[in-house]
Amino acid sequence: MKLLIRAARIVDVQSPFNGQVRDVLIENGLIRQIGESLAVDSSDSENSLQIIEQEGLCLSPGWFDLRVSAKDPGDEHKEDLTTVCRAASRGGFTDIAVLPTTKPALDSKDTLGYVRQMTVGQPVTVHPIAAITKRTEGNDFTDMIDLHHAGAVAFSDGEHPLMNPDLLLKTLQYLQPFNGLLMNRPEEINLTHFGQMNEGLSSTLLGLKGMPAMAEEMLIERDLRLLEYVYPQTGSGRNTGETEGAVLHFSTISTARSVELIRRAKQQGLPVSCDIAAHQLAFDDTALMGFDTNLKVNPPFRLATDVDALKAGLTDGTIDAIVSDHNPQDDESKNIEFDHAEFGIIGLETVFSVVRTHFDTLPLDQLIAKLTVNPRRIVRFPALTIEENQPATLTLFDPEQEWTYERTVSRSKNSPFLGKTLRGKALWIINKGQISHLST
* Residues assigned a catalytic role: 325
Nearest by Cα to 317 from 356, 357, 373, 279: 373
CA distances to 211, 429, 434 from 393, in Å: 40, 8, 9
CA terminus-to-terminus distance, the chain: 24
Q: Alpha helix (H) ranges present in 247-321?
A: 256-267, 304-316
**Number of CB atoms found within 10 A of residue 350's CB:** 30
CA atoms within 13 A on the CB side of 27: 11
Phi/psi of residue 81, nearest 5 degrees: -65, -25
E-strand ranges in 88-156 read 93-98, 125-128
Alpha-carbon distance of 317 to 255, in angstroms, equals 16
Task: Please report which helix (H) or strand (E) contains residue 51, including its range.
Answer: strand 50-53
H and E: helices and strands count for the chain? 13, 17
Phi/psi of residue 7, nearest 5 degrees: 50, 55
3-state secondary structure of 171: helix
**306-330 burial, b if ≥16 CB within 10 A, otherwise e?**
bbebbbebbeeebbbbbbbbbbbbb
Task: Please report which helix (H) or strand (E) contains residue 321, including its range.
Answer: strand 321-323
- Tell me: cis bond preceding 391? Omega within 30 of 0 counts: no
Alpha-carbon distance of 146 to 174, in angstroms, equals 12
E-strand ranges in 109-264 read 125-128, 182-184, 197-198, 210-211, 248-250
Q: Rounded to 10 degrees, what is the CA torsion of 387, 388, 389, 393? A: 50
